[in-house]
Amino acid sequence: MNNFEFKNPTKIIFGKDEIAKLANEIPDNAKVLMLYGGGSIKKNGIYKQVKDALSVFDIVEFAGIPSNPEYEILMEALEIIKAQNITFLLAVGGGSVIDGTKFLSAAAKYEGETPWDLLAQRKPVFNGLPFGTVLTLPATGSEMNGGFVITRRETKEKLATGGPALFPQFSILDPQVISSIPQNQIANGLADSFTHVLEQYMTFPNQSLLQDRFAESILQTIVEVAPVIMNDATDYDAAANFMWSCTMALNGLIGQGVSQDWAIHMMGHELTALFGIDHAQTLAIVAPSHYRYNIESKKEKLAQYAERVWGITEGTIEEKSNAGIEKTEDFFHSLGIKTKLSEYTEDYENAAGIIENRFIERGWKGIGEHGKVSPGDVATLLR
């Protein structure tokens, strides 16, 4: 196991009707900016629960943060933060609203030329406006980590960064919010969290017995609850297990002391930036090809995964690892998620070349756990 330092300061408040506790978590004299997305919280009652809980606070609202939160729109919120001397941010939404809020937390304290540099220069963020979250969509783990991803429409870029200042002070997780999520977004949440675990796990074996078992248990839980929650989003026990699995998949714990991959996300973000494909769908497109292309360096871990997560005990390491990839693809299909770029767009011919050039321009010479997947490899496996 590699050396590590681990600190996760986010307080999790988990369970039925816990949104009512919101006021306890925000400083008494705070001037709050409440941020949310396209309005689903007004239809499902979450908006009212938040407003009722915060009735004694001075609250300004900013609505309309879109999926894959856009820089241009967030800059409008930054104006409000400055003009109205906002002291606390409250994200009420899924990963997009939370990531947008993290960007604003950092941008409000940023002293450089333009806040886009936070992303372009990928410098760790050590100073931010305090913020909390009410999670409405389990998927990204953003509610308990310090990372965020922002899209810039004019340049068709989608970049990620983060830092120790960008962990939420608290996150409220009430699994009942899941009952109003459309089935395709539940599928996205399952695929996204599943792939988060894979990115930290599917490297090479014998690094950490415990982290492997943590990862495998999250994967098994997601596989077990997936058909239940896809069939009935009001099943509270399935919703609770789904929600907590998503948070545990990317709150830092399972990645401590082990090499991580993240190549799937790096390629996937480009597909969203170029084609507007949902984040989780891009992961399902890239993951099987990434594993097939890099099977030599990943086959031991793929075989372990096939055995422990999918119960495949027969065959050679190669046979098991291939079966593990097939099971992964089948799992995405079982969620109604397609795994080929050509099934999302007809315009895919040039994508691999564009992404190769972008990786070269950014100096991403080698990605993955060994830093050996070159821009050329990226283009080949995407093709």
Q: Where does this chain bind ligand NZQ (CB under 6 A)?
A: 37-40, 44, 67-68, 93-97, 99, 136-137, 139-142, 145, 147-149, 177, 180-181, 185, 188, 192, 250, 265, 279
Question: CB 121 → ligand NZQ: shortest distance, Å?
Answer: 18
Question: CB 182 → ligand NZQ: shortest distance, Å?
Answer: 6
Angle between helices 375-382 and 351-361 (to 10 degrees): 160
What are the residues whose beta carbons fall under 8 Å from the beta carbon of 362, sequence distance 6 or more?
none
Closest CA to 353 of 323, 322, 383, 311: 383
Closest CA to 329 of 275, 271, 286: 286
Question: CB 149 → ligand NZQ: shortest distance, Å?
Answer: 4
Question: CB 67 → ligand NZQ: shortest distance, Å?
Answer: 3
139 vs 263 by CB, closer to ligand NZQ? 139
Closest CA to 196 of 170, 176, 222: 222
160 vs 317 by CB, closer to ligand NZQ? 160
Question: CB 274 → ligand NZQ: shortest distance, Å?
Answer: 14
141 vs 304 by CB, closer to ligand NZQ? 141
77 vs 181 by CB, closer to ligand NZQ? 181
Q: How far apart are CA 310 and CA 306, in angstroms?
A: 5
12 vs 97 by CB, closer to ligand NZQ? 97
- State whether residue 154 is helix, strand or coil: coil
27 vs 126 by CB, closer to ligand NZQ? 126
Question: CB 102 → ligand NZQ: shortest distance, Å?
Answer: 7
Compute the radius of gyration of the chain from its Cα atoms.
20
- State whether residue 315 is helix, strand or coil: coil
Q: 107 with 115: CB under 8 angstroms? A: yes
